[in-house]
Amino acid sequence: MRITRVVAWPVEMRLEEPYTIAYETIERVTSVFCRIETNRRLVGYGCAAPDEQVTGETAQTALAAFTDVVDPLLRGRDALRITRRNEQVREPLTKSPSVRAAVDMALFDLLGKAASLPLWKLLGGYRDRIRTSITIGILPLDATIERARHWKAQGFSCLKLKGGKDVEGDIERLLAVRSALGPAVELRFDANQGFTVEQCQRFVAGSRGARLEIIEQPTPKGELDQLGRATQSVPLPIMADESLMTLRDAFRLARRDLADMINVKLMKVGGLEEASQIDAVSRAAGLEVMVGCMDESALSISAGLAFALARPNVHYADLDGHLGLAGDPAAGCVRLEKGTLFPSEQPGLGWVPKDDGS
C-alpha cells in the first residue's frame, strides 16, 4: 500500500470554558489535521496540537512541516512500514514533535483499517476502558469549589487542580475542595513548573489534609536537580511532565531517580512508537506512567487512549483535552461515561469524517 499524498489543514477551536495555568490563559487552540492517502483508497487521519510553550511549534510551522517535509518524504512509500516511515521524518522534524505524532497516528490509523481492527486492540488491548481525571484551572476559591462539585455530579471521581502561582492560595483551594467533595474523589495537583523546591515542600505540608494523590511537575522543566530534590524531600509521588520530551529524557529521569512517575503525551514525545519505548524504559525502572494530553481534538485523544489501553504500565489517564472544544470535527470518536473513557470499535482510530475541511 503506497502513500500517494499527505494533506494538512488547520482547525481553530474555541474553549467553551477558558482556563488559567501557572504561565498562561488558554481561550482557543488551533490543531492541524492531516490525511495520508494511499493507492488502495484507504485513508489515515492524524492530528497535531502544536503549542509554542510545550512543543515549540505553532500552527504555521506545523503546516509548513507537512507541506515541505512530510509530503515529499512519504509520497510513494509503503504506508504499512510504520517504523521505517517514522524514522524517515524523525531527523528533519526533530523540533516538530506534534507533527511527528500526527504522522505516526495517521500511519497507525491506516494499519488498523488495513487489518480491520480498532487501534487499541491492534496495539495490545490490555484493558478496554480507563478512568480519566478532569482538570480545573486556576480560579478564585468559590469558582473552584463550584467547578469541582459540577464535575463530581457528572460522574468524575478524579479531579486535577492547576496551580503554581500562589502557594498559600493553592493550599486553600485544595483544602476547600476536599472539604466540599468528601473523601471519595481523588485529587491531583499540577504546578506547571511554578514552584521552587522550598515552595513545593511548603505546599505539601500545608495541603496534607487534602490527601493528594499526585503532584505534577512542581519545578522548572530545565532544572532537573530541583525536580530530583523535590521528589526526594516530599512524601507524595512527584510526576515529571514538561521535563519529559524524549526517550533520552525518560532514561535520564529513571537513571537518576528524579521522579516517581512520568506523564507521556503523544504531542510531546512524537507519537505512539516513541511513547511505547518510553513506557518500556519506565516499566524497567519501576516508574508508573500516566497518559496525558494537550488541548486537542478527540481524534488525537483516541490515539492516546489506544496507547493507554494497550500498556499494563499505564496506571493513570488525564485525557480530557477534547472536552469543551467547540468545533472539533472529530467529536465523538471516543466515548465518555461518568469519568471513564471507552474507545471506538471502528477500525483504526474510529473517525469517519463527514467533511475533513481540506
**Active-site residue among 152, 221, 265, 268?**
265
**Looking at the 3D structure of the chain, how many domains does it have?**
2
- 345 counts as catalytic: no
Phi, psi of 283 (to 5 degrees): -65, -40
- Both 135 and 273 in one domain: the answer is yes
- 162 counts as catalytic: yes
How many C-beta atoms surround the C-beta of residue 335 within 10 A?
15
- Both 311 and 225 in one domain: the answer is yes
Residue 355 lies in a domain: no
Percent of the chain with pLDDT over 90: 94
Mean pLDDT to the nearest integer, 289-300: 97
Please check the confidence at residue 325 and state whether its pLDDT lies above 90.
Answer: yes
Please check the confidence at residue 341 and state whether its pLDDT lies above 70.
Answer: yes
Residue 350 lies in a domain: no
Query: Which range, of 21-30, 67-76, 161-170, 321-330, averages the lowest pLDDT?
Result: 21-30
Pairing of strands 238-240, 340-342: unpaired
Mean pLDDT to the nearest integer, 10-15: 96
Please check the confidence at residue 79 and state whether its pLDDT lies above 70.
Answer: yes
- What's the pLDDT score for residue 354? 79
**Active-site residue among 216, 274, 279, 318?**
216
Please check the confidence at residue 23 and state whether its pLDDT lies above 90.
Answer: no
- 216 counts as catalytic: yes
- Both 149 and 93 in one domain: the answer is no
Q: Among the three residues 99, 116, 133, which one is the final residue of a domain in this structure?
A: 116
- Both 290 and 148 in one domain: the answer is yes
Please check the confidence at residue 357 and state whether its pLDDT lies above 70.
Answer: no
- What's the pLDDT score for residue 20? 85
Instruction: Determine the Cα angle at 118 with ends 117 and 123, to 5°.
Output: 90
| Rounded-to-integer distance, Cα 11 and Cα 111, Å | 25
CATH number at residue 135: 3.20.20.120
- Both 174 and 265 in one domain: the answer is yes
- Both 47 and 172 in one domain: the answer is no
Residue 352 lies in a domain: no
- What's the pLDDT score for residue 21? 85
Is residue 146 within 8 A of residue 333, CB to CB? The reply is no
**Active-site residue among 113, 152, 162, 221?**
162
Please check the confidence at residue 101 and state whether its pLDDT lies above 60.
Answer: yes
Q: What is the pLDDT of residues 172-197, one digit of tens each?
A: 999 999 999 999 999 999 999 999 99
- What's the pLDDT score for residue 236? 97
**Active-site residue among 57, 190, 279, 295?**
190
Mean pLDDT to the nearest integer, 310-324: 96
- What's the pLDDT score for residue 358? 55
- What's the pLDDT score for residue 22? 75
- 279 counts as catalytic: no
- Both 151 and 105 in one domain: the answer is no
The residue that leads in pLDDT, 17 or 196, is 196
Q: What is the pLDDT of residues 219-246, one digit of tens each?
A: 999 999 999 999 999 999 999 999 999 9
Residue 351 lies in a domain: no
Residue 354 lies in a domain: no
- Both 112 and 128 in one domain: the answer is no
Is residue 151 within 8 A of residue 157, CB to CB? The reply is no
- What's the pLDDT score for residue 286? 96
- Both 94 and 127 in one domain: the answer is no
- What's the pLDDT score for residue 309? 98
Average predicted confidence (pLDDT) for the chain:
96
Residue 289 lies in a domain: yes
- What's the pLDDT score for residue 356? 63
- Both 88 and 131 in one domain: the answer is no
- 166 counts as catalytic: no
- What's the pLDDT score for residue 159? 98
Q: Among the three residues 78, 97, 116, which one is the final residue of a domain in this structure?
A: 116
Supply the pTM of this predicted model: 0.95
Residue 349 lies in a domain: no
Q: What is the pLDDT of residues 110-119, one digit of tens each?
A: 999 999 999 9
Q: Among the three residues 116, 146, 180, which one is the final residue of a domain in this structure?
A: 116
- Both 233 and 197 in one domain: the answer is yes
**Active-site residue among 104, 241, 260, 320?**
241
- Both 138 and 275 in one domain: the answer is yes
Percent of the chain with pLDDT over 70: 99
Mean pLDDT to the nearest integer, 201-206: 98
User: SS in 3 state form for the chain?
Assistant: CEEEEEEEEEEEEEEEEEEECCCCEEEEEEEEEEEEEECCCCEEEEEECCCCCCCCCCHHHHHHHHHHHHHHHHCCCECCCHHHHHHHHHCCCCCCHHHHHHHHHHHHHHHHHHHCCEHHHHCCCCCCCEEECEEECCCCHHHHHHHHHHHHHCCCCEEEEECCCCHHHHHHHHHHHHHHHCCCCEEEEECCCCCCHHHHHHHHHHCHHHCEEEEECCCCCCCHHHHHHHHHHCCCCEEECCCCCCHHHHHHHHHCCCCCEEEECHHHHCCHHHHHHHHHHHHHHCCEEEECCCCCCHHHHHHHHHHHHHCCCEEEECCCCCCCEECCCCCCCCEEECCEEECCCCCECCCCCCCCCC
Q: Alpha carbon 158 to chain centroid distance? A: 16
Domain residues for the domain of 272 are 121-342
Residue 280 lies in a domain: yes
Please check the confidence at residue 275 and state whether its pLDDT lies above 70.
Answer: yes
Confidence band, pLDDT 50/70/90 cuts, at residue 213: very high
